[in-house]
Amino acid sequence: MSDSPAVTHRHEFVLFFDVQDGNPNGDPDAGNLPRIDPETNLGLVSDVALKRKIRNYVALKAEVGDILAQGHEIYMSEGATLNNQHKRAWEAVMPPVDKSEEYKKLPKDQQKSRELTRWMCANFWDIRTFGAVMTTGVNAGQVRGPVQIAFSRSLERILPLEISITRMAATTEADAEAKGGRTMGRKHIVPYGAYRVHGFVSAPLASHDTKGTGFSEADLDLLWDALCNMFEHDRSAARGQMASRKLIVFRHASALGNAQAQALFDRVKVDRVYQGIAHEIGSDAYHNSTDNWPAARSWSDYAVRIERDGLPDGIEILEPC
Amino acid sequence: MGVRLHIWGERACFTRPEMKVERVSYDVITPSAARGILEAIHWKPAIRWHVDRIHVLKPIRFQSFRRNEVGAKASASLASGAMKRKDTSGLGIAVDEDRQQRAAMLLVDVAYVIEAHFEMTEKAGPGDTAAKHISMFNRRAASGQCFHRPCLGTREFPAEFALVAEGDPLPSPDASFTERERDLGWMLHDIDFANGSASRFFHARMEDGVIEVPAWNSADLVS
């Protein structure tokens, strides 16, 4: 753990990211097609998909030595074993017990229970950030993290495409004989999609005496870093080209906040741009005049505007990327 | 003394306890979830919120959403074996080896007005007056302040909120919200944390878009 103080300012953030010829988030209900809102045809990316990438980025940073591994362990890591971690916390603060059943109950001693949770928060970056339910088997309590991420939605309708591909090899001998050694597969891509997601940092859940996880200013910087760079280390055949395009952070002067979240989010507007003409997405002009425009195929087809006039007192706008 | 809070959001999931594995939301917000939203804005041990009325402002619509979630709990016998060996290897669950794909039937595009009041509890000190807490709540709700971001059932569905100040008219329901009478069946009222976390249910009926919520000690509630 660093000496950085716990976060005492509320924050809201807006992240724009885009995908080119890839699948940002497959839908297990639809044969791994890109997620789509069936009513609007807008693309969706789940909250947990982004949290997975943030975790992976922080784990990678710790692995390559960019940040101290101590205090930046990732609890929900791919391939890790959840309950080993509970056990470690238990052993660090609890007297040895004989029966495993005793692990299941929350420690009666509040002090010890709190120590256990605090130890987990101090060691695991993602528990400090997103919280965790640590009531599996070995009981280490439940933590709400200060950072909350909503679903991402594409700015305009997306077009999911199914691409058939051929492989010049077969998995089984039977396949090899029947299909002449070749098999076909499918890839689902979005030719282009730009997505917007909203997030929240509730300061009291970081800094409160008993409810706070100790999520610090340094952790917050790491979160912005992760949001800006998480796709750079998430390359795969399925994802195509993904990139964070713009991160806008509203920093409140106080812990409880200085303005309504929706009023701040409304300040971030996106224009659809074509041949120098720009119309705000959702406006009447947009609906009336963009029918014959070609579909957006790059980030330059959009322009993000932040309305800075009349910003409420105590609100500061940061643009980490 | 009562408060009125307008809340809305893109999605919501007020999970039915009988369908919690593949989550299915109730048709509308539960009094329990509404209380949680009020507490996210202002709560002290000295007060307890009671939801009196829920106004539904938009048509009830659902959408399905499936995600990869983490599966089972740890096995106690494995844990005790590992403890005897004094070696934790092989114990526990690998996240990507213990996947559960769970669908959720979510509500989309919701908006409500919560009418509520609070009572002072036995934990109230001499400095805790009703007037103080009501003005704290109203001040916070009016300026968009909250202790933590309130959510519509689960944390990935953040709630926007605005105070309906005393004397202000209620936000009018959406024009497309025409089916305003509905028997919503038995619905979770709240969980009684004082009595072994017993769930208590009430028969919810929406009449002209409004659900009357019985008091927590009402005889209409069943466990």
HEC secondary structure over A244-270 = EEEEEEEEECCCCCCCCHHHHHCCEEE
Q: Give the residue-averaged pLDDT of A288-302.
A: 93
The Cα–Cα gap between A201 and A185 comes to 42
C-alpha of A212 from chain center: 21
Predicted TM-score (pTM) of this structure: 0.85
pLDDT band at A65 (very low <50, low <70, confident <90, very high): confident
A248 in Cβ contact with A93 (< 8 Å): no
Q: Give the residue-averaged pLDDT of A217-226.
A: 96
Of B11, B145, B161, which has the smallest distance from its Cβ to A151's Cβ? B11
Token digits of residue A221: 């910087």
Q: How many domains does chain A have?
A: 1
C-alpha of B124 from chain center: 24
Of A28, A149, A256, which has the smallest distance from its Cβ to B140's Cβ? A256
The Cα–Cα gap between B218 and B195 comes to 16
Residue B19: count of CB within 10 angstroms of its CB: 13
A137 in Cβ contact with A104 (< 8 Å): yes
Residue B10 touches partner A, C-beta closer than 8 Å? yes
What pLDDT, on a 0 to 100 scale, did the predictor assign at position B218?
A: 84
Looking from the CA of B67 toward its CB, the CA atoms found within 13 Å total 20
Chain B: closest CA distance from residue A34 (Å): 12
Inter-chain residue contact A138 with B160, CB threshold 8 Å: no
Interface test with A, best of B37, B97, B148, B161 (most A CBs within 10 A): B148
Backbone angles phi, psi at B164, to 5 degrees: -100, 100
Inter-chain residue contact B67 with A204, CB threshold 8 Å: no
Beta strands in A170-233 (DSSP E): 183-201
Give the fold, CATH level 3, of B2-66+104-222. Answer: Alpha-Beta Plaits (3.30.70)
What confidence tens digit (pLDDT) does each residue in A152-185 have?
999 999 999 999 998 887 777 777 777 677 788 8
Inter-chain residue contact A79 with B97, CB threshold 8 Å: yes
Segments making up each domain of chain B, as ranges: 2-66+104-222, 68-100
The Cα–Cα gap between B8 and B16 comes to 20
C-alpha of A283 from chain center: 29
A41 in Cβ contact with A17 (< 8 Å): no
Give chain B's residues under pLDDT 70. 72-94
Residue of B nearest to A27 (CA): B66
The Cα–Cα gap between A82 and A89 comes to 11
Decide which of B67 and A119 is more confident. Answer: B67
Chain A: closest CA distance from residue B208 (Å): 26
What pLDDT, on a 0 to 100 scale, did the predictor assign at position B105?
A: 96
Chain B: closest CA distance from residue A96 (Å): 10
Q: CA A263, A266, A270: angle at the middle one, nearest 5?
A: 165
Measured between beta carbons, which residues in chain B are less than 8 angstroms from residue A81? 88, 91-94
Of B69, B95, B146, which has the smallest distance from its Cβ to A78's Cβ? B95
Provide the residue range defining the domain that includes A109: 11-318
- Is residue A4 domain-resident? no
C-alpha of A240 from chain center: 18
pLDDT at position A106 over 60: no
The Cα–Cα gap between B139 and B14 comes to 27
What pLDDT, on a 0 to 100 scale, did the predictor assign at position A182?
A: 79
What pLDDT, on a 0 to 100 scale, did the predictor assign at position B82?
A: 41
pLDDT at position A95 over 70: no
The Cα–Cα gap between A37 and A48 comes to 17
- Is residue A75 domain-resident? yes
Q: Exposed, middle or buried by CB within 10 Å (0-12, 13-18, 19+), for B117?
A: middle
Interfacial B residues in 103-142 facing A (CB < 8 Å) = 103, 108, 140
